[in-house]
Amino acid sequence: MIILAKHAGYCFGVRRAIQMAMENASPERPIYAAGPLIHNRHVIAELAEHGVVTAERPEEIPAGATVIIRAHGVTPDVLRSLLEKNCVILDATCPYVAKIHRIVTNESGEGRTVLIFGKRGHPEVDGIAARCSEAVVVENEDELRENLQKIADRPVSVVCQTTFQKENCVKFVNIVKNTCKLPRIFDTICKATELRQSEAQFLAERSDFAVVIGDPSSSNSRNLYALCRERCVQTQFIQDVSELDRSVLKESAQGFVTAGASTPDRIIKEVYWTMTDEIKTNSAESFEELLEQSLKTLHTGEKVTGVVTAINATDITVDLGVKQAGYIDFDQLSDDPNFVVADNIHVGDEIEATVIRVNDVEGWISLSKKRLDAVKNWEVLEAAVESKEPMEGVIIDQNKGGVVALVKGIRVFIPASQTGLPREASFDPLMKTTQKLRIMEVNTQRKRVVGSIKALANEARKEAQAKIWETIEVGKKYHGVVKSFTTYGAFVDIGGVDGMVHISELAWNRVKHPSDVLEIGQEVEVYVIALDPEKRKISLGYRKAEDNPWTKFINTYHVGDVASVKIVKFMPFGAFAEVLPGVDGLIHISQIADRRIGKPEEVLQIGQQVDAKIIGIDEEKQKISLSIRALLEPQAAPAEEPVEEEPEEETPSAE
């Protein structure tokens, strides 16, 4: 019995390139291909007869010619040289390859090293590597390990040649993950290649012989042969029926036929019929029957997956693998008012949608992505009620009862009591903001969803509080936000827990009110100075030790130094003068002048700047004694006098 693989022959990208060439060329009006359009000599010969001239180098293409870019793509240099010659470009680059070009351009633009799994020198790999500032191509495990030793400490992004063996890709990716720090892995193997390889692997393990049809220059055909040969010893690799070894064909044997992505249907058909005729069996399905299965008709409401092949003015074209073309109008892509097609949809992307209309007469299928997304999203919200998974939504509307958030395209009502705002507060601050919320109730029949911002915020706050109380200790620093003021200090949220900064801990100088130093909502750095776990009270400090003016004074001045000071206050026993901001010293009335005076103001004025000698420092009490007289009559003034004691209630603090 012989089985014909369902995924044998042309892939979408190859079929598209050939169709584009045939539609634009003729013997009377030839066009040029920048390199072999696909890797199959039979097809290249047929295209040549139809007027497609294969040019190995850009220099062979005349100026102004029409040029078709092959399915493997070309390097930017080749494309640039063609444009400089005013050539008309027909881009038949496979959408999957074009997608890799976008990926590596972005990754390389971020300064990342691009690691490419593929065949060195293959035109597809050359085109990918040419779009990178730094690219490393590896073909086997030994090359991978050798190169990883050189680039393991760099940011690495990984892509694969579209026809790379899937099982090798998985193995290589695991090696990269175990070697590199946070690599970015992109799955770029063509889905048609994956299906072809997985099907061939399955059949080869269960067959007595296998036949792989393809051109020796075709990378995907060679990979397909290698994969089958590992699992089935009797595997042939042929270009056409003339190379078929018929000796393995026996009536009792089980075999299968598959083909690379660039193998034309007629060659597959010829090989398959020859084999089935040879063993004279009627049990095998005909090529036409298998082909017809691939051209099935879809039905309204059916979920489908396809590949974006074109982005038009009002819709996108999707290849569904059936005989009709699929289209999605822009208004059927998303319910998100901020959805931008160019940012979210690209040629080569896989896309899921729902069939909303089938027109067999004109050969097209109308699709809707947003309808399928809506069904999925309702399921996601229903699941979120049970799982309590936080959701994210944008507040888009408000009414007297609350606000409305758009979550995954679905309107979610948030009652006023669940917004987290104070009663009677305006909802305006929430409008057009993104909020995390808990889904509390979902009624799919009534299309009603209720959410809560407050519930999630409370849970987060409780978790944060528990975490803080587990780790908090005196001296630990926190980044906090000023929440409120009292006459004696400020409350600061340090991540779910409020602590009190006493007014005396706000600054080194005297503060009348906390608002003189801080603002509500201000972000501050604070540290713990005292704890009461039982009463859940935390005392915080805000002023920094390095800003202590007394420390600055001690590090700057010594007894005997002369300082320029400013008179700030008079007392019956003398005058207080500012030595540094926050540090005052006392000039005793006996040290103001070289004669006896009745009051300090007889000689001095508030705000007056005078020179004074430091004649005493009491570090324990942080008090300073100054003398003007010592500078007027240095011979009569003592070198050092004890710090004068004055009434505590009348003496300004050195702070």
- Catalytic residue ranges: 124
CA 52 – CA 93 distance, rounded (Å): 16
DSSP states of 441-461 as a string? EEETTTTEEEEEHHHHHHHHH
CB 474 within 8 A of CB 530: yes
- Count the helices and strands in the chain (H runs, E runs): 16, 32
Q: Which two tokens stand for residue 318?
A: 């999707």
CB 105 within 8 A of CB 131: yes
CB 199 within 8 A of CB 3: no
CB 589 within 8 A of CB 598: no
CB 168 within 8 A of CB 158: no
| Coil vs helix vs strand at 289 | helix
Contacts 24+ apart (CB under 8 A), 483-489: 483/520, 484/520, 485/513, 485/514, 485/515, 485/518, 485/520, 486/514, 487/513, 489/514
* Alpha-carbon dihedral sign for residues 613, 617, 623, 625: negative
Longest Cα pair distance anywhere in the chain, in angstroms? 138
| Coil vs helix vs strand at 192 | helix
| Coil vs helix vs strand at 424 | coil
Distance of CA 164 to the CA centre of its chain: 26
* Of 626, 572, 563, 624, nearest in space to 600 by CA: 572
| Coil vs helix vs strand at 566 | strand
* Of 28, 98, 33, nearest in space to 60 by CA: 33
What are the beta bridge partners of residue 530?
539
Amino acid at 84: E
CB 119 within 8 A of CB 219: yes
Please give the angle made by the CA atoms of 43, 45 and 50, to the nearest 5 degrees: 95
465 φ/ψ angles, rounded to the nearest 5 degrees: -60, -45
Contacts 24+ apart (CB under 8 A), 418-423: 418/451, 418/452, 418/453, 418/454, 418/455, 419/453, 419/454, 420/453, 420/454, 420/457
CB 316 within 8 A of CB 310: yes
CA 439 – CA 449 distance, rounded (Å): 7
| Coil vs helix vs strand at 141 | helix
564 φ/ψ angles, rounded to the nearest 5 degrees: -85, 115
393 φ/ψ angles, rounded to the nearest 5 degrees: -145, 160
Alpha helices per DSSP H over 595-650? 629-632
CA 211 – CA 228 distance, rounded (Å): 9
* Of 114, 110, 139, 140, nearest in space to 129 by CA: 114
The residue to which tokens 């102004």 are assigned: 64
* Of 378, 377, 394, nearest in space to 337 by CA: 394
Amino acid at 643: V
